[in-house]
Amino acid sequence: MVQTWGMVGALSLLPCLSHVHALPEQCLGVCVNSHDPSIIRRGDGTYFRFSTGGRIAIHTAPNITGPWTYRGAALPGGSSINLPGNQDLWAPDVAQVGNQYYLYYSVSTFGSQNSAIGIARSTSLDAGTWTDLGSTGVVSNPSLPYNAIDGNLVNEEGTSNYFLTFGSFWQGIHRVRVTPTKQHGSPYQVAFDPRDPAIEGPTVFKNGEFYYLFFSKGSCCGYDRNRPPAGKEYRIMVCRSTSPVGPFVDKQGRSCRDGGGTLVLGSHDWVYGPGGQGVYRDPVLGPILYYHYVDTRIGFADGQKKFGWNRINFSSGWPVV
């Protein structure tokens, strides 16, 4: 159920919707301009938030609630990948492997399929410590069925197998095995909606016996210029599988490769277009869903998108915010 903004009749839905979705938890400090956030907590308790823009902006905080402070760009010189967009990097995803931190990022331009997923490495997460390693080998062009952006790393529990899940529009979300710095093997499709290909931004999270594939669906951006029809704005969906390679299905058993997907978080109250999500097992709070969203009380511009987060309850076998 999604609120229809600007229609008087939709206002009557607000009390119902507020029971369906929880409001974002507290965020202090710099909480705007946080498109496609990725967070991680360092061993000393410092939280790091990476986001699209500013050559991957880095913010830190002593707590998930903040106060968040801007620390600089992860790649102040841009990317070494020779593609348009290598000075305007998108969709960061940060992961720790051993004593190294890896930052995946996207090089592309809006609406283009000439794209690549790059990677940088650091031992501390701090601004000024990231070394650009260039392309992972995950690239795309108009001859391929996918777009190589929005990379997310997942490890097959108990093994040394790593997979990069990625994709935006075209023929949906794909996955490929990685080392984790380089591609190995061929990408294969894990999620697609042939009736509405507007899916992107995958995140895979292991909880219990299942691997949960979270993804964003709908129109992500430019709401201040042209808002999409009601129900077509960003929202967070999920499918699951007992295997990291799939197949993934939704709560009704529908294949995620044929339009399946169960709603996790959509527009409600003054929250509009939540997406660009990640899932993180916080050592204090447990599993949390984090994302960007528009606060309709503030404005609809991309630069006004706020950082939101909520705890997730998996007790039913499906994530509930």
Check pLDDT > 50 for residue 274. Answer: yes
Q: Residues near 300 by Cβ (< 8 Å), separated by ≥ 6?
A: 223, 224, 227, 272, 294
Check pLDDT > 70 for residue 116. Answer: yes
Residues serving a catalytic function are: 36, 200
Domain 8-311 superfamily per CATH: Glycosyl hydrolase domain; family 43 (2.115.10.20)
196-250 per-position pLDDT tens digit: 999 999 999 999 999 999 999 999 999 999 999 999 999 999 999 999 889 999 9
Torsion-angle region of 206 (φ positive above 0: left; ψ -120 to 50: alpha; else: beta): beta
At 124, list the tokens. 């501390």
Nearest to 321 by CA among 271, 284, 283: 271
pLDDT class of 5 with cuts at 50, 70, 90: very low
Mean pLDDT of 246-256: 97
pLDDT class of 20 with cuts at 50, 70, 90: low
Mean pLDDT of 292-312: 96
**Interatomic CA distance for residues 211 and 313, integer angstroms:** 15
**Interatomic CA distance for residues 321 and 301, integer angstroms:** 25
Bridge partners for 100 per DSSP: 97
Residue 33: predicted pLDDT? 86
Check pLDDT > 80 for residue 78. Answer: yes
The DSSP line for 141-173 is -TTSSS---S-EEEE-TTSS-EEEEE-BSTT-E
Domain ranges of the chain: 8-311
Mean pLDDT of 118-139: 98
Residue 18: predicted pLDDT? 37
Check pLDDT > 50 for residue 276. Answer: yes
pLDDT class of 21 with cuts at 50, 70, 90: confident
